[in-house]
A = this chain, B = another copy of it.
């Protein structure tokens, strides 16, 4: 609707054409509500297969904050909190939804959005060795995002170490996969769906930012991990009446491996944008391997950029500069990227 091209986020457009097509084809089909329909059944079956986890219980929710709040509430006892990076989405960008559910987010230091098995271990040690620990919030689970809010990726080795420290200390491990398709599509990535299913207690496969209109697929990797989770979802206002809409979207995304490939162009485009920025002397606070690129601009340059390209505010490192984010997505085209690159070169 806007005249100017936007790279502000990866949820700027509607849905992958294959989803739109099936939505049209099935529009007047009658189904039962609340996810108890054949579309959901089929999608669940395909996700179980893709995760190589026949025991998995799958639930479809609408959005990311909702999913995090509901799953975390389901996994934690009232006296437990969730360990997360200071930069974790639940730590700072969910308007206190976790706390509104009664739980503390136990923030720990990060490296480019990632936390380590070591820092988790240390947090647990500090709790256990504190003689007043019964007056503290007990660490009950670990929250990661893959890719992280900085676009970085946990390696299989790192995730395995985190899994091990969780197992050893009775912590549940949960991965927020809002942008999971962009991790899976990355050439350097070595963490795949079966790895997540094997190493995590729960994770979610993001739809909203990865080709769906909306929707996130929660994978609970063991039966009855969260008893009565259906009712917990309902209580959180997170149960979609026409659940079939979610089923149909994930059924499409998990047909012919679409989900695993849908992010490829986006990651390639982001890499190219990042190279151009580097080649042209832009100030990149860090290198991101995923579909997000971060750059720090003087406010003067930023206001010139704003006239032609929409970006996302990230933070203000000082009073005269702003860090912005460019996000590519499944809907980004070569033409859009070329346009952006020419603007960036000119702006330099």
Binding site for B on A (CB under 8 A): 1-2, 5-6, 8-9, 11-15, 17, 20, 23-24, 26-33, 37-39, 62-70, 73-74, 77-79, 81, 92-97, 99-100, 102-105, 107, 129-132, 134-138, 208-209, 213-214, 227-228, 230-232, 234-242, 244-245, 310, 313, 315-316, 331
What copy number does this chain have within its complex?
4
Residues of B within 8 A of A24 (CB): 20, 24
Given contact pairs A5-B30, A132-B313, enumerate 17 new A-B contacts (beta carbons under 8 Å).
A1-B29, A1-B30, A11-B242, A13-B28, A14-B26, A14-B29, A20-B24, A62-B240, A77-B228, A93-B135, A94-B234, A95-B136, A96-B103, A100-B235, A104-B105, A135-B231, A214-B241
Chain A contact residues, majority secondary structure: loop
Chain B residues in 8 Å Cβ range of A27:
13-15, 17, 20
Which residues of chain B are within 8 angstroms of A107 by Cβ–Cβ distance? 107
Given contacts A236-B237, A237-B236, A240-B214, contact A94 B62 (CB under 8 A): no
Q: Are A234 and B65 in contact (CB under 8 A)?
A: yes
Q: Select which of B93, B227, B237 is within 8 A of A97 by beta carbon.
A: B237
Chain B residues within an 8 Å CB radius of A13: 27-30
What are 5 sample pairs from A and B whose C-beta atoms fall under 8 A apart? Answer: A17-B27, A66-B238, A70-B237, A92-B136, A96-B235
Known pairs A14-B26, A245-B214, A316-B129; A135 contacts B94 (CB<8 A): yes
A63 & B239 in contact (Cβ 8 Å cutoff): yes
A245 to B245, CA, bound (A): 13
